[in-house]
Amino acid sequence: GAGVSQTPSNKVTEKGKYVELRCDPISGHTALYWYRQSLGQGPEFLIYFQGTGAADDSGLPNDRFFAVRPEGSVSTLKIQRTERGDSAVYLCASSLIGSSYNEQFFGPGTRLTVL
Amino acid sequence: QQQVKQSPQSLIVQKGGISIINCAYENTAFDYFPWYQQFPGKGPALLIAIRPDVSEKKEGRFTISFNKSAKQFSLHIMDSQPGDSATYFCAASRGSTLGRLYFGRGTQLTVWP
């Protein structure tokens, strides 16, 4: 079946603008995760959802970052008043709750560049 | 503070050789330890994973060795191939079935033909 998809693949914006990044998880996966990966670093956790609710949002760096998953499938990561330091690859992953392992399947990411 | 420490940062191995990447952690609540492989421009892909109730897990050319008392685990790639050239990340989570992953900083592996 299809894997995790993310759109857009690349996003260039200007400092101060608002952006939305979309994630389509694997069909049937009820857990959805957002991570951020800076150049030369490992992915850094932002938030994860079980169904529609955020189970852990402790990784969101500040209140400019917000994520939703209104119907328990597609999720949108929203960043307000973007700053140059927000430039990174934003990764989405999904997993099947109830499986025997915490197997998270990642999408290709959205590369965000803030000019 | 880095919850999972990974070394080396980069590794060069000849084709057919053994690649070894090491990770260490402090949080004894971690109970799931995956390794991910990432190619440029792609998302990380799960390679192999282990729970602390076993000391070794092997899948094909890839083996995880786990030392619970030392709080260390390592990835061994036997008969390394040029196609293995990628960045490898170790990770850990407190939930073996759910929850955030804490990633190491990554090891860039280059396998020379």
Residues 59-78 of chain B whose Cβ lies under 8 A from any Cβ of chain A: none
Q: Are B48 and B84 in contact (CB under 8 A)?
A: no
The average pLDDT across A26-32 equals 93
Dist. CA B2–CA B4, nearest whole Å:
6
The average pLDDT across A16-25 equals 98
Dist. CA A5–CA B39, nearest whole Å:
17
The average pLDDT across B19-41 equals 95
Dist. CA B3–CA B106, nearest whole Å:
13
State whether residue B24 sits within 8 Å of chain A by CB.
no
Residue A1 confidence (pLDDT) above 60: no
Which residues of A fall within a CB distance of 8 Å from B89?
A: 42-43
The mean of the pLDDT values for chain A is 95
Residues 6+ apart with CB under 8 A from B69: none
Name A78's bridge partners. A20, A66
